[in-house]
Amino acid sequence: MASIILGIAAFYHDSAAALIIDGKIVAAAQEERFTRVKHDAAFPVQAIRAVLQTAGIAADAVTAVAFYDKPFLKFERLLETYHAFAPRGLRSFLTAMPVWIKEKLFMRRLLRKECKALGLPANVPLYFPEHHLSHAASAFYPSPFKEAAILTIDGVGEWATTTISKGVDGQIQLLREGKFPHSAGLLYSAFTYFLGFKVNSGEYKLMGLAPYGHANSPETKGFMNLIKTTLTDIREDGSLYLNMDYFDFATGLTMVQASRWERLFGMALRKAEDPITQQHMNLAIAIQQVTEEIVIALARTARRLTGCKHLVMAGGVALNCVANGKLAGLRIFDDTWIQPAAGDAGGALGAALAVHYIAAAQPREIMRPDSMQGAALGSSFTSLQVKSMILQYGATARCMEDSAARNAYVAQLLARGKIVGWFQGRMEFGPRALGQRSILADPRRAEMQQHLNVQIKAREGFRPFAPAVLAADAALYFNTALHNPYMLFVSPVQASQRRPEPEGYANWNLQERLHHERSTLPAVTHVDYSARVQTVDAGVHPVFHALLTAFKKETGCPVLVNTSFNVRGEPIVCTPEQAYLSFMRTGMDVLVVENYVFLREEQAPTKPVPDPVFGDD
């Protein structure tokens, strides 16, 4: 009988479900894509149904269920933390405890109830690997390495905030562990909060803002000194201790003791819509550089402890692609592989893999370039479903069954400056759009970065966009030899593609710097001449590779702007209907859903289209 393991992550943020059959990853999806609640923490009922449907598996065929952490250990951590910090935290304690006592503490019973409602076997075995083991398993088992050092860094699981492990074949050995409340992830999130962004989603904004800071200015160096002498004690091996007199996350309802931070850094806590000053930018680059130092020190320790030539990473901090790029450039390891769903959603996949390889002791099959299948693990839709959507909305579309002709036509539109919503095949698993649910544009157009941010995405103008480039041509434009199909490393733009900074550029304000053309690809070149590159291989993302090839044939340029198909405050689109509605309420010019091409000027919707939601993303 086949081994069919359902992995589940839920109740914190980014709930998800994943399904593996005899060790093969067959489906994975986040709950937010179905409920349309960004970072949805609810039990992933719809994601579970979707992965079962995608795999063609009846619910009663599932042979095991794996939950991505141990609730009793987490409850123990909460109780001990409240006790240690008492009488601080009474309000938080009174808020959290009723939920824990009523629901989360009895997770086994809750899982049984939810699984029964979904039609899973009444006696299906339940497993609860630790949170950081789930992260480690998600990083090691899909990787192309027989053995590797495993580094996981996030906010907190049960007790662990950072782990160093060694993976060999099917086994994972824990070697070193950092514990709550001392957390590099929570440190970064505290600065996310202080600078006016939303925790657990605004960290990307902080990372994008950081390059506008003056890295070598006295103010930035002073901020770094305060972080490393007053807020933290960072050891040579990368471990750290936080001065909890300045933080409130352990027992409070906010991340920091705001008044203390304001006195320390000489600035007020920024509110979400407040202007961003150079002081904010300098604080952003200060914490980014400190985080990079921590990640690099931990990687050196992992190399020393394991003796391995390869590194794999997961946990929310592993999505800091600037730190990842710096780490890769140091060549501490011969090669580094990062789980594309490195955050909590990926814990669902890691939990299922841990059960298969550790609990069931199954032999491991190594696949190249990895076993994530380009992260295209979510739902797909048939031509009949697309036709049904067209009829429902009275849309006008042309069907182009010849994919080569369709790609050539879309490439021509892109070359004319059109913005294209691109919906193909199975939805991506993880936070990045990789050519399945993407918005695409010509990176050579200087106006495109601001137009996409303001008119399409409805988000902050300083946010950078990623280039998707044919893998064979990547080195012509970017200083990288990395295989980077998941957009997880930042690389410098080649000097030959750069345009020099004007005199006095460092003293320009944010808006002035935004409008300066920094390279031959201005829409994807960040202010520090870097780019979050996605290398596109025919074997990993064949449909997207074919479009990039057509664009290169049309223009001579093998690069496209690739950003996620969503607007601010919404998850990435999942269905053809969501794609069409997003297309109609934004400034996109073209929508391509499988073989159907929709042009803006041909649409005459017969039903009202909802206004976009303007919230945090």
Question: Quick one: pLDDT at residue 606?
Answer: 47
Q: Per-residue pLDDT averaged across 14-18, rounded?
A: 97
Question: Quick one: pLDDT at residue 505?
Answer: 82
Q: Per-residue pLDDT averaged across 564-579, rounded?
A: 94
pLDDT range class, residue 614, cuts 50, 70, 90? very low
Q: Which residue has the higher pLDDT, 201 or 44?
A: 44
Residues of the chain with CATH 3.90.870.20: 383-602
Q: Per-residue pLDDT averaged across 415-431, rounded?
A: 98
The H or E element containing residue 294 is: helix 278-306
What is Dmax (Cα atoms) for the chain? 71
Question: Quick one: pLDDT at residue 257?
Answer: 94
Q: Per-residue pLDDT averaged across 211-228, rounded?
A: 96
Q: Cα–Cα distances in Å, from 315 out to 147, 345, 350?
A: 19, 10, 11
* 336-370: pLDDT as tens digits: 999 999 999 999 999 999 999 999 999 999 999 99
* 253-307: pLDDT as tens digits: 789 999 999 999 999 999 988 999 999 999 999 999 999 999 999 999 999 999 9
pLDDT range class, residue 607, cuts 50, 70, 90? low
Identify which of 462, 578, 598 has the alpha carbon closest to the alpha carbon of residue 33: 578
Other beta carbons less than 10 A from residue 324's beta carbon:
24
Strand partners, 178: 162
Residue 74 predicted with pLDDT over 80: no
Identify which of 334, 349, 319 has the alpha carbon closest to the alpha carbon of residue 28: 349
Identify which of 587, 614, 611, 612 has the alpha carbon closest to the alpha carbon of residue 603: 587
Question: Quick one: pLDDT at residue 273?
Answer: 85
| Token pair in block for residue 47 | 């994601």
Question: Quick one: pLDDT at residue 504?
Answer: 83
Bond before 275 cis per omega within 30 degrees: no
Distance CA 187, CA 176 (A): 20
Question: Quick one: pLDDT at residue 460?
Answer: 83
* 530-545: pLDDT as tens digits: 999 999 999 999 999 9
Identify which of 272, 207, 190, 211 has the alpha carbon closest to the alpha carbon of residue 569: 272
Domain 179-335 falls in which CATH fold?
Answer: Nucleotidyltransferase; domain 5 (3.30.420)
Report yes or no: 534 and 484 within 8 Å, Cβ to Cβ: yes
Q: Per-residue pLDDT averaged across 42-52, rounded?
A: 97
Q: Residue 65: left if φ>0, alpha if ψ -120 to 50, beta else—which one?
A: beta
b/e 442-468 (16+ beta carbons within 10 angstroms → b): bbbbeebbebbbeebbbbbebbbbbbb
Specify whether domain 4-130+354-360 bears CATH 3.30.420.40. yes
Percent of the chain at pLDDT > 90 equals 82
Q: Per-residue pLDDT averaged across 181-204, rounded?
A: 95
Percent of the chain at pLDDT > 70 equals 93
Q: Which residue has the higher pLDDT, 315 or 513?
A: 315
* Chain centre to alpha carbon of residue 341: 6
* 370-395: pLDDT as tens digits: 999 999 999 999 999 999 999 999 99
| Token pair in block for residue 279 | 């002081």
Q: Per-residue pLDDT averaged across 175-194, rounded?
A: 96
Residue 511 predicted with pLDDT over 50: yes
Residue 101 predicted with pLDDT over 50: yes
DSSP state of 519: B
Question: Quick one: pLDDT at residue 443?
Answer: 97
Q: Per-residue pLDDT averaged across 477-489, rounded?
A: 93
State the chain's mean pLDDT as an integer. 92
Other beta carbons less than 10 A from residue 481's beta carbon:
11
Q: Residue 417: left if φ>0, alpha if ψ -120 to 50, beta else—which one?
A: left
Q: Which residue has the higher pLDDT, 148 or 103?
A: 148
Question: Quick one: pLDDT at residue 612?
Answer: 43
Q: What would the CATH number be for the domain defined by 383-602?
A: 3.90.870.20
Q: Per-residue pLDDT averaged across 317-336, rounded?
A: 97
* 452-463: pLDDT as tens digits: 988 888 888 888
Distance CA 73, CA 450 (A): 46
Q: Which residue has the higher pLDDT, 88 or 439?
A: 439
Question: Quick one: pLDDT at residue 508?
Answer: 86
Residue 193: burial class (beta carbons within 10 Å; 0-12, 13-18, 19+): buried
Q: Per-residue pLDDT averaged across 320-333, rounded?
A: 96
Q: Cα–Cα distances in Å, from 570 out to 67, 460, 585, 594?
A: 26, 15, 13, 22
Identify which of 43, 48, 52 has the alpha carbon closest to the alpha carbon of residue 14: 43
Kindly give the residue spans of alpha helices, DSSP state H, lying in 431-525: 448-451, 474-477, 510-514
Q: Residue 314: left if φ>0, alpha if ψ -120 to 50, beta else—which one?
A: beta
Identify which of 57, 48, 35 has the alpha carbon closest to the alpha carbon of residue 7: 48
Distance CA 3, CA 21 (A): 6
Residue 596 predicted with pLDDT over 50: yes
Other beta carbons less than 10 A from residue 497's beta carbon:
18
pLDDT range class, residue 613, cuts 50, 70, 90? very low
Identify which of 390, 408, 513, 397 has the alpha carbon closest to the alpha carbon of residue 450: 513
Residue 98 predicted with pLDDT over 70: no
Residues of the chain with CATH 3.30.420.40: 4-130+354-360, 179-335
